[in-house]
Every structure is written in C-alpha cells, then in structure tokens.
Amino acid sequence: MKATSEAFLKKAVPSLEAAEWPAAEGYMDFAASRAYYAMFYAAEALLLERGLEFSSHKAVIGAFGKEFAKSGELDQTLHTAFIQAQRLRHAGDYDVGLEVDDRHAKQTLADARRFIDAAQGKLFPK
C-alpha cells in the first residue's frame, strides 16, 4: 500500500471517532460533517491506491462511484451514502437555519462505519 493511501485511511478512523462525541452531545451538524470526512478520507485512500488524485470533493465522489460502485467492486449503496453524507455536511456547515436531524446524522455515522470497513477490506484483503 502506498504511504499516502495509508495516511488517508489512518485519518478516516479518528475522523469517525471524532464524530461520535458531537452526536452524543446533540451536535448533529458537526457529527454528520466529521462522518462525511471519514468517508472522504477513506475514498481518497482507495483512489490514491489506483493512482487517482482529484482536487475537489465532487470529483472524489464521482470517481469513487465510477471506480468502485458502478464496477461492482464495492456495494453501490456506499456511493449513495457518500453523496448523502456530502449533502448533509454541506447543509450542516454552510446553511444557516437548517440543521441536520438526529436520524440523518446517526444514519451517516452508521454509513461511515460501513464505508471505512469496506475500504479497509479492499486495501487490506484477508
């Protein structure tokens, strides 16, 4: 595994852990944002391992979909969850007066766990 890929995957795990505290305290905007970034870092690790690097979040999400979801290498629901998580992050970080609700934030946390597990399984096959 490339050092950069490994670094991004190592960043994904604490990002997800960092999402747990705000969720427990009721700060769902921040929990959803950190969960999204956990997914983003894991996607970056997967793509970098293939020599693919992008300069925007939209490009990373699209490339993940093309390389892993559409190809069937990973469950397509992970791509859908990644898109939804990005929407929630954007709403939570930038939209004034619009808060991420408890149900959506908790779903994003669960999706991020699945996403990281899938990335780890792909990068560290048993």
Tell me how far apart the alpha carbons of residues 108 and 114 are, in angstroms, rounded to a whole number.
10
Tell me how far apart the alpha carbons of residues 58 and 35 are, in angstroms, rounded to a whole number.
16
Q: Where are the domains of the chain?
A: 3-123
- What pLDDT was estimated at residue 96? 80
Among the four given CATH numbers 3.30.160.150, 3.40.50.150, 1.20.120.330, 1.10.10.10, the one describing domain 3-123: 1.20.120.330
- What pLDDT was estimated at residue 30? 93
Q: Who has greater pLDDT, 95 or 73?
A: 73
pLDDT tens, residue by residue, 30-59: 999 999 999 999 999 999 999 999 999 999
Evaluate if residue 97 carries a pLDDT over 80: no
